[in-house]
Structure 1
Amino acid sequence: MKRGHPMSRIIAGAAGGTPLASVPGSLTRPTTDRVKEALFSRLDAFEVISDARVLDLYAGSGSLGVESASRGARAVDLVEFDGKASEVCQRNADLVNTVARRKVVAVHRSKVESFLDRAGESTRWDLVFLDPPYPLDEPALAAALAKLLPHLAEGAVVVVERSARSPEPTWPEGLERFAEKKYGETLLWFAEPGVEPDVEPDTAGD
């Protein structure tokens, strides 16, 4: 989980400079502003934030999701199961929604797998963050990625944040890693839906 710490803030966009509420104690693992700034610089280069539907899984304080909203995302879903963390998500969502004067960010208190199971077949996201707690094992992360795959829009970008000591995630068939970047003890993996090969029509018997 991500993410909030006492000095965390929204870095840029409509709500840039706004301090963020943080999750008390050691319930979450902060994504530093340095890493967040570098991440969003890369995402800006990919041109995937503006008008995007964004999903922040294992959201912690929701800092990555609300940063996306501040930078022009159309809609953001924060998914966090822990009660205290989800309350912090809501406070940070309210900050951005107030600036936007509409509900851009929605908070869902739910386990990631349950949330994805409930998502409608037509629900698609353009940008997805997964920053699970370090204790989450690799099979559980792989299962979440497999459940996510049917809900990725064409051209979507998936960002997985893990410890630099963690192995590369097990990507489901149809989701391909295209980049990685290490920042100290943090390692970011970038993936996208694979392009399905063109299938020639069956002309046998014509």
Structure 2
Amino acid sequence: MSRIIAGAAGGTPLASVPGSMTRPTTDRVKEALFSRLAAFGIIAGARVLDLYAGSGSLGVESGSRGASSVDLVEFDAKASSVCQRNADLINGVLASKVVTVHRGKVEPFLERTAEDARWDLVFLDPPYPLDEVALSAVLAKLAAHLAPAAVVVVERSSRSPEPGWPAGLERFAERKYGETKLWFAEPSVPDAIGPGTEATE
């Protein structure tokens, strides 16, 4: 069973999506990921976006650790229902509405987002059937809605190729955890002050 690892609701079990329609991030990978994000100093006070949210585990973890707002975007009815349960759980612990669930497809969500909307931390764990061209198109839409020092985390199978980064985004690190690979990117604009380039492993 997945759980919230740390923060205000640390140790709290999370609802999971039934069956195998989603590919939840394991607690091992999640712990390693958030350890790295904490080192970047990016979580506390961040505006977080969790695309293809599944159960909303990554977004809810961010809320527990002090994010100022979290948007979970999930199209599947069962998965978005689980997202809502987990959002209600963390909002109840925090006694404020930090996490909001948006049921719908990722591309239309980004297209209708206000031009001045900016996120500091974005998670993408797209389904494997989403090909690299489609993923690159989503990243291109996302690039217009990032804060200058934002961090984007793309989770894929370790057998998948590196995402095609569109203009406005560049990869600065990658990490492999068994069958999971995480790609870290940041805005590629002159005034961006992100975590900076790291050696890859």
Task: Give, in whole Å, the separation in 2 of the partners of 1:30 and 1:59.
Answer: 9
* 1:10-21 aligned within 5 A: 10-21=4-15
Find the counterpart in structure 1 of residue 113 from structure 2: 119
Structure 2 alignment gaps of length 5 or more: 192-201
Give 1:1-80 correspondences, 5 Å limit. 7-80=1-74
Aligned to 1:107, the other structure's residue is in SS state strand
1:125 Cα deviation from its structure 2 partner: 0.1
Q: For 2:165 and 2:189, how far apart are their aligned partners in 1?
A: 15
Instruction: Please state how far the C-alpha of 1:134 moved relative to its aligned partner.
Output: 1.1
Q: Report the TM-score when normalising by structure 2.
A: 0.94
Is 1:93 aligned to residue 87 of structure 2? Answer: yes
CA deviation after TM superposition for structure 1 residue 95, in Å: 0.6
| From 160, 183, 187, the counterpart of 2:181 | 187
Question: Where does the alignment leave 5 or more consecutive residues of structure 1 unmatched?
Answer: 1-6, 198-206
- Paired with 2:51 and 2:26, the residues of 1 have a C-alpha distance of 17
Distance between the aligned counterparts of 2:30 and 2:129, measured in 1? 22
Aligned counterpart, 2:126:
132
Alignment of 1:137-156 (within 5 A): 137-156=131-150
How far apart in 1 are the matches of 2:32 and 2:165? Answer: 24
| Equivalence for 1:201 | none
Distance in 1 separating the partners of 2:73 and 2:24: 16
Identity of aligned residues (%): 80
Give TM-score scaled by structure 1 length.
0.92
* Greater Cα radius of gyration, structure 1 or 2: 1
Q: How many Å separate the matches in 2 of 1:19 and 1:175?
A: 34
- 1:68 & 1:9 partners in 2: Cα distance? 12
Say what the alpha-carbon RMSD is for the aligned residues. 0.7
